[in-house]
Structure 1
């Protein structure tokens, strides 16, 4: 059995940084993720005037419930979706004029449902180029709050951004969702808000957030479940065993459910409160699975699907088309290049059994495509070649080294 240490959760780190910045007092975040996304979020907070001290294993954040310390700022959000969606919402609860921009990749990703909601709440916000996309400028004068309806069918981050800002409003928020994907991420947000002192709750399709301020805390960030999926998939694919410590049945992250998908494909899975172990079978079984709530692991499953004994069909994942790239199209393109028969529709992909051949992989600047197809290479003669291996820095800069160490341990080099 191989034990793999996974870095901190990207999603939890981003939410914790927002909560710490908005809380009364000084928060210590332990074992935060060190990656381009999380560093970009921290840089954005500093640009807005928040004070952070970043040590290797702990970040200290001085909270400002009143909002940014500066009356004017220009924030560059890099490639980070949480940075680009959460920080404008945080700034809107303060006072001043704040401009936000992002990379070309992030500029393409949608923002409209969130910014329409902010305008409905009275925020003065202007998109400088394409409506519903970065760059944008907002002239903040606090948020009164109230009731609104939100379409979160493209990204749960629109809802999360508003939930996080709810305690900073004068009247609280009642948000009714007309559509919602990635529900576990919203459940994670509510659990973290409660940890920081706000009793936000869901009743049916409506989320109630009282105007109850956050309190600083000492917060340990668990390992990233999406990142863990690559190593769990590697074990399932090769018939080896992998244990991920610190991530188990009590995880806040919905992507821990990827282990259950591997179980349905024939892997042996052991979940304890604080660990997950996967042991691969002689051969994986084909499966039809709805991955609407764990869509970040769609490329992981797609990358090992050709080795199953029957078709693997992944359904209800349209939102993967508006991530860092169109992930359904990217998976289909790369699998086809590997000699695998693939069919796709608006929100589904079906992958047929095949022995992949060596081929170049088009990463499309997407960390999840690069990491997923690195796992395909474990059983592809001649391996694969990534056109942008460095894009993994977005969430796991040490990924290639960690995978190489595991290959050596397993004698696969």
Structure 2
């Protein structure tokens, strides 16, 4: 008997004609985990409705429960009951950047010692800037000078807070992490960014919006500066939007097959970076419309190449790169040097894997260029990165014989992605 594992190459379904589908996506990971952190810091219980149930969000729920709050994930809507952060804890970050970065500032409020570690891949992801900032705000952090996992936060029950200068050019999560817990610090936080432009600014806008929903006073009127006033965090019941970045492979399926795909419940207004798909897919030659049912994308006869700066929407790069590799004219994706520090070096990984399937791709320090070329089948490696898996299945929908290694890594933000995807063909 042959034994298979999650790492075995998975034959990506090939679209033999236009795909016509309407899909309902799980909730946003980014919104779910921000809502969970603030609910755990609030003055009373909150409910997170339509929470995404995935590895990242489950790890966040466990981390906050380990600190002393209680996150009940047994029902579709998750209930968060704040509690005293008064117990020693070991936090498993897995592959979740939000857990690794958002929980330590909250752990500074504990009266106990909290140890952090995660999957091997996570030990290469940047966190040192957050740890240095926490020390500057009065939190005792021990990492043996690594600036990476594993590390330990020694809580004293309160954090002085105040002004801190950081370089957030590697990740907007550095800013969001400090903002989320800032209202509970004695003097709040005053965060100043100095360095290259902060990537993925919509994610900071999302953090600010969620903070304000909880009654937290935030001043973001000055460029590269965010101030949170000290004060209570009000309990709030959230309804989580669909994860718009997770919509990328499904809308891309319409683009590569010449079909029509509708994503239900697309918000008319949102802080999610994935909303940029509307404009990007239009540039690629798709017909895009937002109506009462959701966002509908109809694919063209042939995709057009694009020249686009994805600095604020870096998480979309793998899916967009897959489409550019299939386009009928040249493309250039730029402004995304920071995604080299995501789950893997996404620029290097995309260049390597798309090249192996026949794409004419050139890797630049901050992006990728594509010249039209005929692609062929082969194994597409994912590097334990869910967005890489998305790129692989997009190419597989248009090219015979593509196999995606470790497609199960998509469970990070979309449980049973492979089964759901196969059901669309």
- Identify the TM-score tier after normalising by the shorter chain: over 0.9
In structure 2, stretches of 5+ residues that fail to align are: 1-19
Shift, 1:69, TM fit: 3.7
Number of matched residues? Answer: 402
Shift, 1:378, TM fit: 0.9
Shift, 1:93, TM fit: 2.2
**Which residue of the other structure, out of 302, 306, 311, is the alignment partner of 2:330?**
311
Q: How does 1:108-127 map to 2 (within 5 A)?
A: 108-127=124-143
Q: Describe the SS at the equivalent of 1:57.
A: coil
Q: CA RMSD in A?
A: 1.4
Shift, 1:274, TM fit: 7.5
- Partners of 2:28 and 2:219 in 1: how far apart? 23
Q: Describe the SS at the equivalent of 1:203.
A: coil
Shift, 1:14, TM fit: 0.8
Large movers: runs of 4+ above 4 Å: none
Q: Describe the SS at the equivalent of 1:14.
A: helix
- Partners of 1:230 and 1:212 in 2: how far apart? 41
Quote the residue 1:351 is aligned against. Answer: 370
Quote the residue 2:115 is aligned against. Answer: 99
Instruction: Find out whether 1:12 has 2:31 as its counterpart.
Output: yes
Higher relative contact order (CA 8 A, sep 6+): 2
Gap change, CA 1:236 and 1:251, over 3 Å in 2: same
Quote the residue 1:186 is aligned against. Answer: 204
Q: Describe the SS at the equivalent of 2:384.
A: coil
Quote the residue 1:410 is aligned against. Answer: none
Shift, 1:27, TM fit: 0.5
Quote the residue 2:161 is aligned against. Answer: 145
Quote the residue 2:301 is aligned against. Answer: 282
Shift, 1:236, TM fit: 1.3
CA deviations on 1:23-62 (whole Å, 9 max, x unpaired) are 1111011111111111111111122121121134110001
**Which residue of the other structure, out of 78, 85, 105, is the alignment partner of 1:68?**
85
Shift, 1:355, TM fit: 2.4
Shift, 1:98, TM fit: 1.4
Quote the residue 1:411 is aligned against. Answer: none
Instruction: Find out whether 1:26 has 2:41 as its counterpart.
Output: no
Normalising by structure 2, report the TM-score.
Answer: 0.92
CA deviations on 1:52-82 (whole Å, 9 max, x unpaired) are 2113411000124xx5142x22222111110
CA contact (8 A) 1:229 1:259 kept: no
Normalising by structure 1, report the TM-score.
Answer: 0.94
Q: How does 1:302-381 map to 2 (within 5 A)?
A: 302-381=321-400
Instruction: Find out whether 1:240 has 2:255 as its counterpart.
Output: no
- Partners of 2:74 and 2:27 in 1: how far apart? 14
Instruction: Find out whether 1:262 has 2:281 as its counterpart.
Output: yes
- Partners of 2:213 and 2:328 in 1: how far apart? 44
- Partners of 1:155 and 1:75 in 2: how far apart? 21
Q: Describe the SS at the equivalent of 2:112.
A: strand
CA deviations on 1:279-322 (whole Å, 9 max, x unpaired) are 11111111110001110010001112122121111001011101
**Which residue of the other structure, out of 149, 163, 176, is the alignment partner of 1:134?**
149
- Partners of 1:297 and 1:305 in 2: how far apart? 12
**Which residue of the other structure, out of 173, 181, 189, is the alignment partner of 1:165?**
181
Q: Describe the SS at the equivalent of 2:183.
A: helix
Quote the residue 1:397 is aligned against. Answer: 415
Q: How does 1:377-388 map to 2 (within 5 A)?
A: 377-382=396-401, 384-388=402-406
CA contact (8 A) 1:50 1:69 kept: no
CA contact (8 A) 1:363 1:369 kept: yes
Shift, 1:2, TM fit: 2.0
Q: Describe the SS at the equivalent of 2:423.
A: helix
In structure 1, stretches of 5+ residues that fail to align are: 408-413
